[in-house]
Structure 1
Amino acid sequence: MPRSTHDTSAILDAAGRILGAGGTGAVTMAAVIREAGIPSGSLYYRFPDRPALLAALWNRAIASYHSGAYPLFDGDPVEAAAALGAYTVRWCDAEPHHAHVLLAGRSHFEPEGWPADARTTEAQESARWDEAIRGLTRRLRSQTSASTAEILLVAVDLPYAAVRRYLSGGRPVPPDLADVVAGLIRTSLRGADPASH
Structure 2
Amino acid sequence: MKFSADDILDAAARVVLTRSGSPPVAEIAREVGAPVGSVYYRFASRDELLVSLWLRSVRDFQQGFMAACRLEPAADAVVAAARHIPVYCREHPAEARAMTLYRQAELVRAAPESLRDEVATVNDQVNALSLELTRRRYGVADEWRTTLLTTATRQCPYGLVRPHLGGPIPDWIDDATAACARAIAALGD
The TM-score with structure 1 as length reference comes to 0.79
User: CA offsets, 1:28-63, max 9 Å, x none?
Assistant: 222212232211221011001112102210111011
Residue 190 in 1 paired to residue 186 in 2?
yes
Superposed structure 1 runs of 4+ greater than 6 Å apart: none
SS of match in other structure, 1:174? coil
- Rounded to whole Å, the distance in 2 between the matches of 1:73 and 1:112 is 30
Q: Which residue of 1 aligns with 2:146?
A: 148
The AA in structure 1 aligned to 2:43 is F
- Rounded to whole Å, the distance in 2 between the matches of 1:20 and 1:111 is 25
Structure 2: where are the runs of 5+ without partners? Answer: none
Q: Which residue of 2 aligns with 1:49?
A: 45
The AA in structure 1 aligned to 2:110 is E
Aligned residues: 186
SS of match in other structure, 1:172? coil
Q: Which residue of 1 aligns with 2:93?
A: 96
Taking only the aligned residue pairs, the percentage that are identical comes to 26
Displacement of 1:189 in angstroms is 2.0
Cα RMSD over matched residues?
A: 2.7
Displacement of 1:192 in angstroms is 4.0
SS of match in other structure, 1:103? coil
Task: Decide whether the 8 Å contact of 1:62 with 1:102 is kept in 2.
Answer: yes
Displacement of 1:109 in angstroms is 5.6
The TM-score with structure 2 as length reference comes to 0.82
SS of match in other structure, 2:26? helix
Residue in structure 2 matching 1:62, options 49, 58, 63: 58
- Rounded to whole Å, the distance in 1 between the matches of 2:107 and 2:147 is 26
Displacement of 1:141 in angstroms is 4.2
- Rounded to whole Å, the distance in 2 between the matches of 1:46 and 1:180 is 42
